[in-house]
Structure 1
Amino acid sequence: MRPEYHFSVPDNWKNDPQRPIFVDGEYHYYYLYNADYLAGGIGTSWRRATTLDHVSFVDHGVAIEKFTNANGDCWSGSLVIDAENTAGFGRGAVIALVTQAAVDQVPEGRQAQYLWYSTDGGRSFQPGGDDPVLADPDIPDFRDPKVIWDGSRERWFMALAEGRRLGFYASPDLATWTRVGEFARDDLGLLECPDIFEMTADDGSSQWVLGVSANAKHRGMPATYAYWTGAFDGSGFVPDALEPRWLDWGFDFYGAVTYPHHETSGEEDASLRHAIGWANFWDYPHNTPTLVTDRYNGDDMIVRDLRLVRERDGYALASTPTAALTQYTTRLHRLGDLEVDGDLDLDIHAPAYDLSCEIEWDADADCRNSDIGFEVCRAGGGSRFVAAGLDMSGPCAYLDRTLTVNPTRGRTQAPLDTSAGRVAIRLLVDRTSVELFVGNGRSAQSHRVFPLAGDAGIRLFARGATAVFREVTIRELSVPTAD
């Protein structure tokens, strides 16, 4: 059941992605890894993989070992390249700020931030001392440092998850940190894995974005990556709007991180970022048949290309599957325009593919009770499938894994603008996931699913209305295993 084109851990366990860095012409991706998971062991290390195109990854093993000292195992954090040797480990040293929790100090563990450094381009790390660079102020949640260089003030800046708030800190050297502000929310559950960056929007303006993994299920909203655009002054962040936007409206896009795109010259493209998210959630982290079939537990959703777009009510991140994905097409089906009134089963069965089209309907007709979309991962008799579609009664775009094998049954939905009478669709299907992108990435939904062997049918449907699925294209995909 290992996915054909999504990132998966070689063995045992993975959870949180760590923000990739660009070193010597390639992206270094780190993630939390437990080599003792199948044997019942605990603790996470940082494992490293590299990629040139955000699709094909080469594994390089553990870069930061767990339980190296008495400070505990390594949790989430972030890496930076210390170009000016502010920390004293040499120009170009890779510095990791990592949360460790010394469980022997207090019963529940004492979370603090520690510095690790690498002088070999991020291949291996050593602790920069046994003492924390930012000690626990006696609160239960104090973790996930996200560090950036604040060029306007010539200093480092850190956003840190502190329960229902983010703490903001500044430092000249990555080792001494001063609290300078905070961002608090009491309606999004526990805040984790913060993110902050500046980006050039499609109108040419420069905007700041603050992101966080949040859980708003109690409000009928997602538990994924929430974000705000707004003003950042080095100490505080003032959002443009009270309510966050969501990078994903599905069940399984947690602990996500974003990272800048680099040209071949190494220069950053301020108008393009990438995002990668864990294909799981803490409500059911160990519920996966891959433990039996492939002896591992841990996939990521596809890396996304992010662009900041100006909309009527402010700025929003549009996300699409990363551009290089189409280079891994193994078989191409161009089906043209298909008019559907009822159900249409395609004569294509595949376990892993990228389906794209534009769905068009009569915007002047009464379509308020219509349902238009796809059944994928479909069993021969139709008793199992994942539904992805447009519910005009909402109106909303939805992804529904109720009728297939999955961690929990259920349906998610995202707002949908139906005024144009048409919308672009991308639907990524792999052995352990389905991802729906609507309106050129204006909304996305990601679900962890586990179709049974042979559940690979594809059905188009238009119920309550006639729809045209224009330029239907299906790319079967596979990424060769790296040597």
Structure 2
Amino acid sequence: MTPAPAAGVTWRARGRRVVAAVVAVGLGLCACTPADDERPSPAPSPPYTERWRPQLHYTPPEGRLADPNGLVHDGRQWHLFHQQDGTWAHAVSPDAVHWTTLPTALEHDELGQALSGSVVVDGADTSGLFDGPPGGLVAVYTSTVGGEAQSLAYSSDGGLTWRRYVDNPVIANEGRTDFRDPKVFWHEPTRRWVMVVSTGDQIGLFGSTDLLRWVELSSFGRGQGLHSAVWECPDLFPLQVDGDPERVRWVLTVSVGASDATGGSTAQYFVGDFDGTTFTRDPSVPDDTVQLTDVGQDFYAAQSYEQAPDGRRVWIGWMGNWRYPYEAPTRPWTNAMSVPRDLDLRTVGGQVRLVQSPAPELASLRGQPVRIGSRAIERDTPLPLGGPPYELEAEIETGDAGRVGLRVLESRGADGIVEESVEVGYTAADGGQVYLERTGGVLAGFAVRRSAAYRPTDGTVRLHLLVDASSVEVFVDDGALTGTMLAFPAGDGQGLSLVSEGGRPRLRSLTYWPLDSIWR
């Protein structure tokens, strides 16, 4: 998270089940939320009917949302904290889909802002900040006075109220620059907490038995991956490869700030091993290989949930880009979170990849499906289906087409000509690519095209889209590639079409679900 000045000033700012079970036993984790009669009553649902207001994605009632922080499931509910002008805003959910906004958790204090960080359940009270088990929640975040440093706050009432640790910061700045965004987790084999934190265009790793006293362990990043800008918001977690509990690998993710080289900000990941001290990238992958977490334009600062149910690894990202962080034409809020996504590792084309899929809880929003069977795809084929929010899955046989795909959030003029849209599909150009292209809208200079190398399996592209009032999230081939794109249609943005260029592509099948709003 890029630091912000004072408030009021503009700033840019499944081993899954095995792993979870081991951690839970080692820490004595348990629910630390208050009794039912102490929990806040759900606030009345706001109308949330403003133009471009997302209906599938979390947005604050008002104010400027940025990085997700402190993502944790405390045994009873999902917590979502996020940056809002150097403070930690707070929301909770029973299902990671329907959210209740709570009062701000961490305001500014004598050490300045509370920039990005993480939350853990200290169920065994390793910190001594509680009166023994069942412990409580501990937030580790970046404070700013005297230079970026890592500080603590803790809560014994399920995150409703927080106290700052009296001896903050727990890791002083010591002359470092760009020293921020700590993500903390428990590493059972070494019986200690581990922190990954941004240090310029590298990652530092620190260890602690009590969350209070930290020692530097190692670093990672020199000569690895993309270095076009500062690295931010790291995360480190284990996942099974192809669902095999005997093949657990570690994934390090990091966001990369805005640069001309990438046309904005982006994010990347590395797959390798972690021995409790050092992360080592898979040596079969060349050092300069860049593996993007999202091939679209607007997915940044993603963080995964600690203690997600059933050993899942679930994450959420900020749908935004540091090229235009607060330029969205929305009021009284700015920016939204992505939908929650489940993470796995899968072997694709001989390479282990991070794959993402919409969290299954989102299926609760589905209405009655509409199914379209096999048919030829013409150059421009409007589909008589409703506007956002909706979800669709399509299988498209590319044939010898030069280009084929879907056009969503589409607006047409009186002559029927498309004036703006977000197009998602496959092009045979440059050896084969999947692409996302947005055109038009109310923001000048907002048009952009993003693409990534891709060859359809058996000549069939499988697209899974979540389309909201101002965004599109695309999952290709069950999440082997993922792309996120914001859009603010100037027109009605209700259109949905099949498109093609050359050849004889066919739609094999398409299923469309209208989606309920998460706010009602």
Tell me if structure 2 keeps the 8 A contact 1:341–1:465.
Answer: no
Which residue is 1:246 aligned to? 292
Taking structure 2 as the reference length, what is the TM-score of the superposition?
A: 0.83
Which residue is 1:94 aligned to? 137
For residues 29-61 of structure 1, the C-alpha deviation after alignment (integer angstroms, 9 at most, x for no partner) is 11112xxxxxxxxx4221221123222112122
For residues 325-344 of structure 1, the C-alpha deviation after alignment (integer angstroms, 9 at most, x for no partner) is 22212453222223213221
For residues 58-106 of structure 1, the C-alpha deviation after alignment (integer angstroms, 9 at most, x for no partner) is 2122122x223x100110011111122111012322111110111xx4x
Task: Quote how far apart the aligned CAs of 1:218 are.
Answer: 5.0
Which residue is 1:39 aligned to? none
Tell me if structure 2 keeps the 8 A contact 1:309–1:317.
Answer: yes
Tell me if structure 1 keeps the 8 A contact 2:386–2:514.
Answer: no
Task: Quote how far apart the aligned CAs of 1:193 are.
Answer: 0.4
Q: Per the alignment, do residues 343 and 3 of structure 1 end up closer, same or farther by CA in structure 2, a change over 3 Å counting?
A: same
Is 1:116 the counterpart of 2:153? The answer is yes
In the alignment, the residues of structure 2 paired with residue 60 and residue 175 of structure 1 have an alpha-carbon distance, to the nearest angstrom, of 27
Which residue is 1:387 aligned to? 423
In the alignment, the residues of structure 2 paired with residue 223 and residue 285 of structure 1 have an alpha-carbon distance, to the nearest angstrom, of 10
Q: Per the alignment, do residues 216 and 440 of structure 1 end up closer, same or farther by CA in structure 2, a change over 3 Å counting?
A: farther
Task: Quote how far apart the aligned CAs of 1:274 are.
Answer: 1.1
Is 1:20 the counterpart of 2:71? The answer is yes
Q: CA RMSD in A?
A: 1.9
Counterpart mapping for 1:327-366 below 5 A: 327-362=364-399, 366=400
Is 1:225 the counterpart of 2:271? The answer is no
Tell me if structure 2 keeps the 8 A contact 1:222–1:246.
Answer: no
Which deviates the most, 453-462 or 184-193? 184-193
Is 1:237 the counterpart of 2:275? The answer is no
How many residue pairs match? The answer is 451
Q: Residue type matched to 1:101 in 2?
A: T
Is 1:425 the counterpart of 2:463? The answer is yes
Q: Residue type matched to 1:46 in 2?
A: W
Q: Residue type matched to 1:250 in 2?
A: G
Unaligned runs of 5+ in 2: 1-51
In the alignment, the residues of structure 1 paired with residue 80 and residue 278 of structure 2 have an alpha-carbon distance, to the nearest angstrom, of 29
Task: Quote how far apart the aligned CAs of 1:233 are.
Answer: 1.6
Is 1:440 the counterpart of 2:486? The answer is no
In the alignment, the residues of structure 2 paired with residue 216 and residue 280 of structure 1 have an alpha-carbon distance, to the nearest angstrom, of 11
In the alignment, the residues of structure 1 paired with residue 168 and residue 104 of structure 2 have an alpha-carbon distance, to the nearest angstrom, of 23
Which residue is 1:201 aligned to? 241
In the alignment, the residues of structure 2 paired with residue 414 and residue 221 of structure 1 have an alpha-carbon distance, to the nearest angstrom, of 14
Unaligned runs of 5+ in 1: 34-42
Q: Per the alignment, do residues 220 and 75 of structure 1 end up closer, same or farther by CA in structure 2, a change over 3 Å counting?
A: closer
DSSP-derived class of the 2:496 partner: strand
Which residue is 1:476 aligned to? 514
Q: Per the alignment, do residues 221 and 451 of structure 1 end up closer, same or farther by CA in structure 2, a change over 3 Å counting?
A: closer
DSSP-derived class of the 2:313 partner: strand
Taking structure 1 as the reference length, what is the TM-score of the superposition?
A: 0.89
In the alignment, the residues of structure 2 paired with residue 419 and residue 478 of structure 1 have an alpha-carbon distance, to the nearest angstrom, of 33
Q: Residue type matched to 2:470 in 1?
A: T
Is 1:308 the counterpart of 2:345? The answer is yes
Task: Quote how far apart the aligned CAs of 1:171 are.
Answer: 0.9
Q: Residue type matched to 1:467 in 2?
A: P
DSSP-derived class of the 1:374 partner: strand
Which deviates the most, 473-482 or 393-402? 473-482
DSSP-derived class of the 1:326 partner: helix
Tell me if structure 1 keeps the 8 A contact 2:181–2:232.
Answer: yes
Percent identity of paired positions between Structure 1 and Structure 2: 31
Structure having the higher strand fraction is: 1
Task: Quote how far apart the aligned CAs of 1:387 are.
Answer: 1.2
In the alignment, the residues of structure 1 paired with residue 152 and residue 427 of structure 2 have an alpha-carbon distance, to the nearest angstrom, of 49
Which residue is 1:37 aligned to? none
In the alignment, the residues of structure 1 paired with residue 258 and residue 491 of structure 2 have an alpha-carbon distance, to the nearest angstrom, of 34
Q: Per the alignment, do residues 431 and 113 of structure 1 end up closer, same or farther by CA in structure 2, a change over 3 Å counting?
A: same
Is 1:258 the counterpart of 2:304? The answer is yes
In the alignment, the residues of structure 2 paired with residue 211 and residue 438 of structure 1 have an alpha-carbon distance, to the nearest angstrom, of 20
**Which of 90, 93, 108 matches 1:67?**
108
Which residue is 1:36 aligned to? none
DSSP-derived class of the 1:384 partner: strand
